[in-house]
């Protein structure tokens, strides 16, 4: 089976369509970055408190907002997280609730507000980890184990924790759910001091303002160094104009990807930055393959115009380009669809990046080469034309002598 | 050629076995469960897959400098008294922002040379500069101050490590973080209650024993009134408990004490501490000081018999006692403590004290249920991606597709085996890196195979086509891998935790790919061609 055998598409001829396409998306993205959603920085960059809570049943967002308001949190962003069947909610407090004097104050307020039975003095079993369970069991010693207590209770605590996390998605509906995992005397002791709430805190991210600023700087530096490094490497392997063309293509890819995130209002977290740096590397990959072929063909086809050589090179590498981009795209698509909510924005960046990266090698880098060559040729060409005509007139005047005989 | 081929094949099989060992170790059994357990033991999971707590804290290094300069002020006052040099005031004009600056006022100009001599003899870590109107500035040398700051961070790391060790967390990470801002990174796998950890780490950060000048006062104004409406220059207002040592405390209402600014002894002079019970059966803490600390404590208590001293924990007066007699190096702290509190207190004292207080900058807690879900989903996506790619290669390149699939499989074995050997952690983006390696790795095979197809189309023999294919594709493969590895290295340098995991799997995967896609594929081709009859076409 073989696709793309002997294609002969005039890519360079379509360069105005490509330019229009790129311009539309770049401008839309930049406009959104400046005026609409701006750049939706993730919490590691802007600071703030993020609490991911999973509920036993479908959560009522209004009820949650009400409870938080009563607790003194007046401006949280509350939204569903992940597929609806997961019953997960994300509570996003801004920077004002996240002072460095009491970093986890916002989180603690949220947890207290969501626990209606906290007033009874009992502890929430669903938000107690294995260590807490073990400490409690050691203190109460319901099985009267004496010296063997520590090992046995550690094992039991881990068994209960694993059962809850792996079989019940983190939430127990009642203490009786543990029947069969723990002996009855343990269960009755737990009944005295614990209750089961209807939620569990899955993930917490609290970032103070200092760390956020530091990280933003680091991310920017990393991107700039990456691009700079590529430029130097390509300058070595090819000529400067190749390096510039490739870097411009990469910048184009970055702007369009970030623009997409801005348009769709998807958060740019640290892992998304990692994805963007990866796609810069990938786009560079792609561009190099085309450039390699162009360089090879330049040696073989000396007399043909540059535009034809470039076209032919792209056509020759088309099969390889579409195939590898396609395969990498399929693996990243698998990640986007099956990889879970935590990686979703990361894989989105890669999905967009691979498509745009492939496109840019053909539509941005290659035409830039030709355009630069043409521009240089035009500048040099004017001088050549003048010199040629002057010489010819001199030559014809000499010929007059020969004609006479 | 046959001998070469055999040697190469043996090399490849050896690599396979070595890296399989890296993944599995020696499994207890070859059943599914046994293999899974073996893998879980070898591969370390990052916080985002195992669940745990990640904290970034900042050591307030100026506290350490303040402590040093406070002590220097006390010593200087003694020294000037002994040398009969009068002075009006020695204090710090701006302890908040310039803790290293001390101002000496009121030294008569005739004795300035004596002052200079004392400073240069006994205070080599300070620079003395004269100012207007008989004032002098005593500034800690920058090298000394910087050194103190760095030491404060190092000591904080040691202390925190001690305390967390005693909590029994497995494989904690405690290290300096970031670029020069006195930050410490603490990662505690499996810990889902950061509040308790922070309590242990921070609550008794700064232990000091100071002289109590006045108190207890019911309010700030009452305290100020007792000293004539203004705070004496060497005293500090501090909140604390109301009880005097030995009395039962009915309520824990806050009262105010006037405490000396400098400490008689501090946490670093502590040698050991134990929870115990006093004569009345109440929980208390017994402590022992070091030799040097004991000497200083003896000097202090000896010259202040009948006066009060206070045990100050984190700028709160925890216990006040009257000095009955000179105490050398053994002391006891009593109060209305519970058993748990004395245990915690003794634990904290035992691990040494933090030289400066700490401020929390970032806190991330990943619950274990989320970690389990993440592993499941990540591995599922990886398997699906791999299967799709492998099936496609079989369809598109026929028998050569098997070649590519084998190379891909070996690539993954090397990658995961490397993780097992190096102890590098696997994070969720790391799993994504594995998936990306699959996609980009197969890129090299496609490059080579497309080139081989081209050569075959131009009429070359299979063996020559294979040679040409590999030769031409090599430079392109090298270029593309180098550029991606460069961006991965930059990611590793600038990134943290999960991002680093991604950078590691991507780089190692691509390096392994250079081996498998070029060397291993070639060997497989040669083996296949060896079995070919003359003129048989290449299945590609």
Interface test mutation site (partner A, options B388, B433, B494, B505, max chain A beta carbons within 10 A): B494
More confident residue, B202 or A347: A347
In the predicted model, what is the mean pLDDT of residues B143-153? 85
> Are B361 and A103 a contacting pair at CB < 8 A?
yes
The average confidence (pLDDT) of chain B is 80
Examine the domain organization and report whether B30 and B139 are in the same domain: no
Residues 35-94 of A with CB under 8 A from B: 44, 52, 54
Same domain for B371 and B511, yes or no, is yes
* CA pair distance A244, B317, nearest whole angstrom: 66
Same domain, B140 and B213: no
| Residue A114 CA to its chain's centroid (Å) | 32
Q: What is the mean pLDDT of residues B227-243?
A: 71
Task: Provide the pLDDT for residue A257.
Answer: 94
Give me the residues paired with residue B365 across strands. Answer: A204, B53
pLDDT for the residue B244: 41
Does residue B140 sit within a domain? yes
Q: Is B492 found in the same domain as B381?
A: yes
> Residues B442, B519: one domain?
yes
The token pair at A151 is 């090992």
Q: Is A98 on the interface with B (CB under 8 A)?
A: no
Whether the per-residue pLDDT at A405 is higher than 60: the answer is no
| Same domain, residue pair B496 and B395 | yes
- Same domain for B302 and B379: no
- B164 in any annotated domain: no
- Report the pLDDT value the prediction gives residue B254, as an integer from 0 to 100: 66
- CATH number of the domain that residue B65 is part of: 3.90.1070
Q: Is the pLDDT of residue B108 over 70?
A: yes
Chosen domain end from B297, B327, B357: B327
Total beta-carbon pairs less than 8 A apart between chain A and chain B: 240
The residue that leads in pLDDT, A340 or B166, is A340
Give the closest-approach CA distance of A369 to chain B in angstroms. 19
Would you say residue A399 has pLDDT above 60? no
CATH number 1.20.1640.10 is the correct assignment for the domain at A12-42+209-382: yes
DSSP state at residue B538: P
Q: In degrees rounded to 5, what are phi and psi of residue B219?
A: -150, 170
Per-residue confidence (pLDDT) for residue B249, from 0 to 100: 38
Contact between B135 and B103 (Cβ < 8 Å): yes
Look at residues B184, B186, B182 and name the one whose alpha carbon lies nearest to residue B150.
B182
Q: Is some CB atom of chain B closer than 8 A to the CB atom of A299?
A: no
Whether B176 is in a domain gets the answer no
Question: Does B468 map to a domain?
Answer: yes
Tell whether B340 is within 8 A of chain A (Cβ).
no
What integer pLDDT is reported at residue B253 of this predicted model? Answer: 54
Q: Is B388 on the interface with A (CB under 8 A)?
A: yes
- Judged against a pLDDT cut of 60, whether residue A403 lies above it is answered with no
Chain centroid to CA A288: how far? 23
Are A323 and B446 inside 8 Å of each other by CB?
yes
Mean pLDDT (whole number) for B203-223: 74
pLDDT above 90 coverage of chain B, percent: 3
Give B 363-382 residues with CB within 8 A of chain A.
363-370, 372-374, 377-378, 380-381
Does one domain contain both B371 and B494? yes
Contact flag A201-B365 (C-beta cutoff 8 Å)? yes
CATH number, domain containing residue B246: 3.30.1360.200
At B368-400, the pLDDT tens digits run 788 888 888 888 888 898 898 899 889 888 888
- Average confidence (pLDDT) over A293-313: 85
CA–CA min distance A3, chain B (Å):
9
Which residue is associated with the tokens 């991107």? Answer: A223
Residue from B385, B437, B453, B539 to probe the interface with A (highest A Cβ count within 10 Å) = B385
Q: In what order do the strands lie in the sheet with B283-289?
A: B270-277, B283-289, B330-334
Q: Which residue of A has its CA nearest to B443?
A: A324
Put simply, whether B539 touches A (Cβ < 8 Å) is no
- Please check the confidence at residue B251 and state whether its pLDDT lies above 60: no
CB B279 within 8 A of CB B264: no
Structure confidence at residue A119 (pLDDT): 57
- pLDDT tens figures, B70-83: 778 877 888 888 88
> How many Å apart are CA B361 and CA A312, to the nearest integer?
56
* Residue B303 and residue B397 share a domain: no
Nearest of B416, B430, B440, B417 to residue B504 by alpha carbon: B430
Interface check A355 vs B, CB under 8 A: no
Q: Which pLDDT score, from 0 to 100, does residue A401 have?
A: 43
The mean pLDDT value for A96-113 works out to 77
Q: What integer pLDDT is reported at residue B236 of this predicted model? A: 77
For position B247, what pLDDT does the model report?
36
Query: Between A165, A327, A339, which is nearest B442 by CB?
Result: A327
Whether the per-residue pLDDT at B287 is higher than 80: the answer is no
The Cα–Cα gap between B136 and B459 comes to 93
Tell me which of A151-160, A191-200, B267-276, B358-367 is least confident: B267-276
pLDDT at B36 over 90: no
Average of pLDDT values for B17-34? Answer: 79
Tell me if chain B has a CB within 8 Å of the CB of A191. Answer: no
Same domain, B402 and B492: yes
Residue of A nearest to B442 (CA): A324
Confidence of residue A352 (pLDDT cuts 50, 70, 90): very high
Query: Is the torsion defined by CA of B218, B221, B227, B233 positive or negative?
Result: positive
Indicate where chain A has its CATH 1.20.1640.10 domain(s): 12-42+209-382
Does the structure show a pLDDT above 80 at B401? Answer: yes
Q: Is the pLDDT of residue B329 over 50?
A: yes
B197 touches chain A (CB under 8 A): no
Task: Please state which of the ranges A13-22, A140-149, A370-379, B343-352 shows the lowest mean pLDDT.
Answer: B343-352
Cross-chain residue pair B487–A233, CB shorter than 8 Å: no
Contact B369 A233 (CB under 8 A): no
Local structure of B330: helix, strand or coil: strand
Q: Are A105 and A97 spatial neighbours (Cβ–Cβ below 8 Å)?
A: yes
Measured distance CA(B40)–CA(A254) in Å, rounded: 38
* Best CA proximity match to A164, nearest among A186, A203, A133: A133
Band (pLDDT 50/70/90 cuts) for residue A8 is confident
The H or E element spanning position B23 is helix B2-24
- Measure the CA–CA gap between B434 and B437, rounded to whole angstroms: 5
Q: Are residues B34 and B66 in the same domain?
A: no
Residues in chain B: 540
CATH value at residue B521:
1.20.1640.10
Q: Name the domain boundary from B300, B327, B354.
A: B327
Higher pLDDT, B384 or A95: B384
How high is the mean pLDDT of chain A? 81
Range of lowest pLDDT (A192-196, B263-267, B303-307): B263-267
If you measure CA to CA, which chain B residue comes closest to A165? B369
CA distance A191 to B131: 72
| Interface residue B504 vs chain A (CB under 8 A) | no
- For residue B501, the model assigns a pLDDT of 83
Can you give the residue range of the structural domain that contains B302? 207-327
Segment 152-171 of chain A within 8 Å of chain B by CB: 161, 164-166, 169-170
Do B520 and B12 meet the contact criterion of CB atoms below 8 Å apart?
Answer: yes
Smallest Cα–Cα separation from B433: which of A82, A345, A335? Answer: A335
pLDDT at A62: 86
B432/A339 CB distance under 8 A: yes
Across the range B448-465, mean pLDDT stands at: 86
Query: Which residue in the set B192, B378, B446 is minimally distant from A339, CB to CB?
Result: B378
Q: Let me know whether B280 and B218 are in one domain.
A: yes
Q: Give the CA angle between residues B341, B345, B350 to the nearest 5°.
A: 150
Residue B281's pLDDT is 78
Report if residue B156 sits inside a domain: no
Identify all chain A residues contacting B479, using CB atoms and an 8 Å cutoff.
237, 285, 288, 292
Question: Bridge partners of B362?
Answer: A207, B56
Among candidate residues B145, B160, B191, the one where a domain is terminated: B145
Which of A164, A324, A348, A355 to probe the B interface (max B CBs under 10 A)? A324
Pairing label, strands B52-59, B183-189 = antiparallel
Asked if the model's pLDDT at residue A69 lies above 80, the reply is: yes
Q: Give the total number of structural domains in chain B.
A: 3
How far, rounded to the nearest angstrom, does the alpha carbon of residue B294 sit from its chain's CA centroid? 33
Q: Give tens-digit pLDDT for A113-156.
A: 887 665 567 778 888 877 778 878 877 778 777 666 778 888 88
Q: Does A274 touch chain B if contact means CB atoms closer than 8 Å?
A: yes
**Residue A151 to chain B, least CA–CA distance (Å):** 13
pLDDT tens digits for A241-276?
A: 787 888 888 889 999 999 999 999 888 988 888 888
Across the interface, do B58 and A210 touch by the CB < 8 Å criterion? yes
């Amino acid at each position: 089976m073989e696709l793309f055998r002997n294609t002969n598409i005039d890519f360079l001829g379509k360069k105005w369509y490509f330019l229009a396409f790129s311009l539309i998306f770049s401008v839309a993205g930049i406009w959104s970055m400046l005026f609409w959603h701006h750049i939706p920085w993730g919490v590691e960059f802007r600071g703030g408190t993020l609490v991911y809570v999973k509920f036993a049943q479908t959560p009522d967002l209004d009820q949650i907002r009400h409870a938080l308001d009563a607790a003194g949190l007046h401006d949280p962003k509350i939204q569903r997280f992940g597929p609806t069947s997961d019953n997960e909610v994300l509570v996003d407090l801004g920077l004002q609730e996240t002072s460095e004097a009491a970093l986890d104050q916002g989180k603690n307020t949220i947890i207290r507000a969501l626990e209606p039975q906290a007033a009874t003095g009992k502890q929430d079993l669903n938000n107690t980890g294995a260590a807490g369970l073990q400490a409690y069991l050691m203190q109460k010693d319901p099985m009267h184990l004496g010296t063997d207590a520590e090992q046995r209770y550690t094992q039991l605590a881990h068994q209960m924790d694993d059962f809850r996390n792996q079989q019940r998605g983190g939430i127990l509906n009642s203490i009786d759910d543990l029947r069969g995992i723990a002996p009855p005397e343990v269960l009755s002791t737990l009944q005295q001091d614990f209750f089961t709430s209807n939620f569990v805190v899955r993930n917490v991210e609290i970032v103070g303002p200092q760390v956020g600023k530091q990280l933003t700087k680091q991310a920017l530096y990393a991107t700039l160094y990456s691009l700079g490094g590529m430029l130097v490497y390509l300058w070595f392997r090819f000529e400067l104009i190749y390096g510039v063309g490739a870097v411009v293509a990469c910048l184009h890819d970055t702007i369009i990807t970030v623009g997409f995130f801005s348009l769709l209002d998807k958060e740019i977290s640290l892992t998304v930055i990692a994805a963007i740096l990866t796609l810069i590397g990938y786009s560079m990959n792609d561009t190099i393959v085309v450039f390699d072929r162009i360089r090879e063909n330049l040696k073989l086809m000396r007399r043909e115009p540059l535009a034809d050589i470039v076209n032919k090179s792209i056509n020759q590498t088309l099969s390889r380009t579409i195939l590898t981009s396609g395969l990498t795209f399929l693996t990243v698509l698998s990640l986007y669809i099956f990889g879970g909510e935590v990686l979703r924005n990361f894989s989105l960046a890669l999905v967009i990046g691979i498509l745009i990266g492939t496109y840019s090698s053909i539509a941005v880098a290659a035409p830039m080469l030709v355009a630069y060559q043409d521009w240089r040729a035009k500048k040099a060409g004017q001088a050549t034309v003048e010199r040629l005509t002057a010489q010819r007139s001199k030559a014809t005047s000499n010929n007059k002598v020969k004609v006479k005989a | 050629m046959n001998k070469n081929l055999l040697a190469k094949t043996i090399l490849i099989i050896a690599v396979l076995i070595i890296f399989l060992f890296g993944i599995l170790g020696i499994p207890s059994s070859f059943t599914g469960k046994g293999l899974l357990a073996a893998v879980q033991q070898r591969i370390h999971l990052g916080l985002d897959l195992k669940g745990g707590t990640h904290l970034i804290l900042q050591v307030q290094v100026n506290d350490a400098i303040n402590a040093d300069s406070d002590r220097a002020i006390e010593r200087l006052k003694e020294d000037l008294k002994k040398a009969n040099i009068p002075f009006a005031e020695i204090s710090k004009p701006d302890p908040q922002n310039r803790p290293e600056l001390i101002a000496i006022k009121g030294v008569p100009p005739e004795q300035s040379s004596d002052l200079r001599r004392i400073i240069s003899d006994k205070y080599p870590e300070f620079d003395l500069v004269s100012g207007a109107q008989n004032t002098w500035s005593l500034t800690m040398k920058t090298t000394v101050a910087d050194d103190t700051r760095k030491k404060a961070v190092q000591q904080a790391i040691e202390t925190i490590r001690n305390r967390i060790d005693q909590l029994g967390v497995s494989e904690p990470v405690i290290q300096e973080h970031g670029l020069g801002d006195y930050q410490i990174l603490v990662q505690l796998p499996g810990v889902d209650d950061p509040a308790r950890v922070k309590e242990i780490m921070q609550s008794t950060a700064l232990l000091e024993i100071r002289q109590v000048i006045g108190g207890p006062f019911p309010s700030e104004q009452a305290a100020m009134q007792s000293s004539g409406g203004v705070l004496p220059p060497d005293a500090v207002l501090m909140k604390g408990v109301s009880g005097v040592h030995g009395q039962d405390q009915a309520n824990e209402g806050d009262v105010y004490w006037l405490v000396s600014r400098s400490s008689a002894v501090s946490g670093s002079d502590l040698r050991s501490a134990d929870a115990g019970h006093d004569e009345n059966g109440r929980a208390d803490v017994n402590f022992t000081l070091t030799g040097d600390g004991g000497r200083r404590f003896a000097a202090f208590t000896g010259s202040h018999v009948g006066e009060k001293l206070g045990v100050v924990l984190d700028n709160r007066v925890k216990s006040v006692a009257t000095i009955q007699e000179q105490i050398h190096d053994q002391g006891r702290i009593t109060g209305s403590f519970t058993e748990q509190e004395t245990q915690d207190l003794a634990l904290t004292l035992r691990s040494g004290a933090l030289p400066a207080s700490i401020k929390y900058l970032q806190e991330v807690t990943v619950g274990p249920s989320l970690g389990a879900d993440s592993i499941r989903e990540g591995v599922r996506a990886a398997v699906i991606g791999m299967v799709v790619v492998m099936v496609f290669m079989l369809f598109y390149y026929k028998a050569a597709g098997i070649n590519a699939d084998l190379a891909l499989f070996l690539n993954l074995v090397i990658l995961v085996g490397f993780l097992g050997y190096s102890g590098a952690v696997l994070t969720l983006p790391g799993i994504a890196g594995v998936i990306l390696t699959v996609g980009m790795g197969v890129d090299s095979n496609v490059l080579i195979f497309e080139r081989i197809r081209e050569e075959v189309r131009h009429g070359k023999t299979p063996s020559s086509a294979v040679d040409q294919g590999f030769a031409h594709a090599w430079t392109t493969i090298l270029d593309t891998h180098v550029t991606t590895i460069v961006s991965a290295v930059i990611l590793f340098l600038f990134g943290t935790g999960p991002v680093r995991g991604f950078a590691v799997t991507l780089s190692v995967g691509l390096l392994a790919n250079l081996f498998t896609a070029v060397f291993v594929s070639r060997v497989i081709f040669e083996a296949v061609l060896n079995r070919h009859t003359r003129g048989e076409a290449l299945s590609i």
